């Protein structure tokens, strides 16, 4: 049997073939060279889905909440794609397996597609692979895309930046408000969720967050970030969260969603360019080997990087680049 082609898979994707959807996401994840051409063929179908990122400390209840949100969206006849991203883990570890089990009641529903991603090895990093996977789900025709990632570091922020709306999920105890502020989670939030509202300390966390938001975000131009109290385990407050998600979406639509998305796409081009240029220099042009030799001679890393980049740039003629 011949190897599956980009065109064949794009065609199947547009026909609603879930196998093709899964395969194209794997291509994105593994940096397969067929991914780019396959996405090109369906890219005019990208841009219709609403993308919502869920982030927050480990164990805050993100998966439970995403499952409840997906359930509510399904009741509203919307189709849902779920991406559980774990950038910190090189393999699909126990947590993701747990996610799959927790999300199991959604997994049998044909209106839901669930996928976990854990590879760090993808071209351009996990954030680029996540956006690519969202694009594939979008082209496939899923109306709502929910992305879950643990909010602990830069890679995770990059992942949530794939979304139009970012929901930060906190809970009383381990992931309290102060820690969230330290981790910079409030800055990325369009919506704050206090999950586990059934536990003591939830009211306090909620009022702390309202106060913190008031202090930090006095600007009139920014979205008034709501604090939504939820108990994902029982589904309480989920409809309020959906209403806030819809409000944020409407707010974006009133602003300039295409311009915001363009800005994000521009960043993707830049990230892809960074990665393509640096890997070409590193391997094809031998900069990696040269850097190794210079390190062995005792030169400092920043000095080597500075010299090598100066050398690479000196060899480029601006005239050549400016011609269209
Ligand atoms: N009491 C209570 N427990 C909850 C609630 N929501 C989730 N949990 C519990 O919190 C634990 C963690 O839930 P998960 O949904 O796995 O949390 P997570 O944020 O996805 O965790 P990681 O993906 O591992 O970071 C589980 O034992 C859930 O049953 C809630 O509303 N109330
Ligand atoms: Mg989870």
Rounded to 5°, the CA angle 299-304-307 comes to 130
CATH 3.40.50.300: which residues of the chain?
46-255
Residue to probe by mutation, ligand 1, list 55, 58, 61, most atoms within 8 Å of CB:
61
- DSSP E strand stretches across the chain: 50-56, 80-85, 112-117, 144-150, 165-170, 191-194, 227-229
Task: Note the pLDDT tens digit of each residue in 2-41.
Answer: 567 888 889 999 999 999 999 999 998 888 889 999 999 9
State in Å: Cα 199 to ligand 1 middle.
Answer: 12
State in Å: Cα 322 to ligand 1 middle.
Answer: 53
Nearest CA to ligand 1 atom 12: 59
Rounded to 5°, the CA angle 272-276-278 comes to 115
CB 67 less than 6 A from any atom of ligand 1: no
Distance CA 281, CA 270 (A): 16
Q: Which of ligand 1's atoms lies nearest the C-alpha of 169?
A: 19
Residue 121 main-chain phi, psi, to 5 deg: -85, -5
State in Å: Cα 225 to ligand 1 middle.
Answer: 23
Q: What is the structure's pLDDT at 199? A: 93
pLDDT band at 94 (very low <50, low <70, confident <90, very high): very low
* Range name among 35-44, 118-127, 197-206 with the lowest pLDDT average: 118-127
State in Å: Cα 97 to ligand 2 middle.
Answer: 9
CB 229 less than 6 A from any atom of ligand 1: no
Q: How far is CA 272 from CA 38, 87, 121, 131, 163, in A?
A: 17, 18, 14, 12, 18
Closest ligand, as measured to the CA of 174: 1
Dihedral sign from CA coordinates of 171, 173, 175, 180: positive
Q: Which of ligand 1's atoms lies nearest the C-alpha of 95?
A: 24
- Are 69 and 243 in contact by the 8 Å Cβ rule? The answer is no
Q: What is the structure's pLDDT at 97? A: 46
Q: What is the structure's pLDDT at 109? A: 82
Nearest CA to ligand 1 atom 7: 61
**pTM assigned to the model:** 0.81
Provide CATH code, domain 46-255: 3.40.50.300
Task: Note the pLDDT tens digit of each residue in 122-131.
Answer: 555 677 888 8
Q: What is the structure's pLDDT at 156? A: 63
Q: Which burial class, exposed, middle or buried, applies to 194 when counting CB atoms under 10 A from its CB (0-12, 13-18, 19+)?
A: buried
Residue 1 has pLDDT above 50, yes or no: no
State in Å: Cα 68 to ligand 2 middle.
Answer: 13
CB 238 less than 6 A from any atom of ligand 1: no
pLDDT band at 90 (very low <50, low <70, confident <90, very high): very low
pLDDT band at 256 (very low <50, low <70, confident <90, very high): confident
pLDDT band at 99 (very low <50, low <70, confident <90, very high): low
Residue 222 has pLDDT above 60, yes or no: yes
Residue 93 has pLDDT above 50, yes or no: no
CB 199 less than 6 A from any atom of ligand 1: yes
CB 130 less than 6 A from any atom of ligand 1: no
Q: What is the structure's pLDDT at 3? A: 67
Q: What is the structure's pLDDT at 278? A: 85
Residue to probe by mutation, ligand 1, list 54, 56, 57, 64, most atoms within 8 Å of CB:
64
* Range name among 76-80, 89-93, 100-104, 105-109 with the lowest pLDDT average: 89-93
State in Å: Cα 76 to ligand 2 middle.
Answer: 24
Q: What is the structure's pLDDT at 91? A: 44
Q: How far is CA 49 from CA 59, 77, 120, 246, 298, in A?
A: 27, 14, 25, 13, 52
| Number of Cβ atoms within 10 Å of the Cβ of 235 | 16
CB neighbours of 166 closer than 8 A, spacing ≥ 6? 52, 53, 55, 160, 188, 189, 190, 191
For residue 4, the 8-state DSSP code is P
Q: What is the structure's pLDDT at 317? A: 74
Q: What is the structure's pLDDT at 73? A: 95
Nearest CA to ligand 1 atom 13: 61
């Amino acid at each position: 049997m011949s190897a599956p082609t980009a065109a064949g898979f794009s065609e199947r994707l547009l026909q609603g073939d879930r196998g093709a959807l899964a395969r194209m996401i794997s291509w994105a994840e593994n940096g397969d060279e067929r991914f780019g051409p396959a996405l090109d063929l369906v890219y005019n179908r990208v841009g219709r889905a609403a993308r919502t990122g869920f982030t927050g400390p480990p164990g805050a209840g993100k998966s439970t909440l995403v499952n409840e949100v997906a359930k509510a969206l399904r009741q509203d006849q919307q189709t849902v794609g779920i991406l559980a991203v774990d950038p910190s883990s090189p393999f699909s570890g126990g947590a993701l397996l747990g996610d799959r089990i927790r999300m199991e009641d959604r997994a049998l529903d044909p209106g839901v597609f669930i996928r976990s991603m854990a590879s760090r090895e993808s071209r351009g990093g996990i954030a680029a692979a996540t956006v690519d996977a969202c694009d594939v789900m979008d082209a496939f025709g899923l109306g709502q895309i929910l992305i879950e990632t643990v909010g602990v570091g830069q890679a995770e922020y990059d992942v949530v930046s794939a979304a139009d709306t970012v929901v930060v999920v906190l809970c009383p105890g381990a992931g309290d408000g102060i820690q969230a502020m330290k981790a910079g989670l409030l800055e990325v939030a369009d919506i704050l969720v206090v999950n586990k509202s059934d536990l003591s300390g939830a009211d306090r966390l909620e009022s702390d967050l309202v106060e913190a938001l008031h202090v930090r975000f006095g600007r009139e131009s920014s979205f008034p970030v709501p604090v939504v109290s939820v108990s994902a385990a029982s589904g309480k407050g989920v409809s309020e969260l959906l209403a806030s998600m819809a409000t944020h979406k409407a707010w974006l639509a009133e602003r300039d969603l295409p311009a915001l998305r363009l800005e994000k796409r521009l960043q993707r081009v830049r990230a892809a360019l960074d990665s393509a240029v640096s890997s070409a220099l590193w391997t094809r042009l031998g900069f990696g080997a040269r850097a190794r030799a210079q390190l062995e001679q005792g030169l400092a890393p920043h000095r080597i990087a500075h010299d090598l980049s100066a050398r690479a740039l000196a060899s480029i003629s601006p005239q050549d680049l400016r011609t269209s």
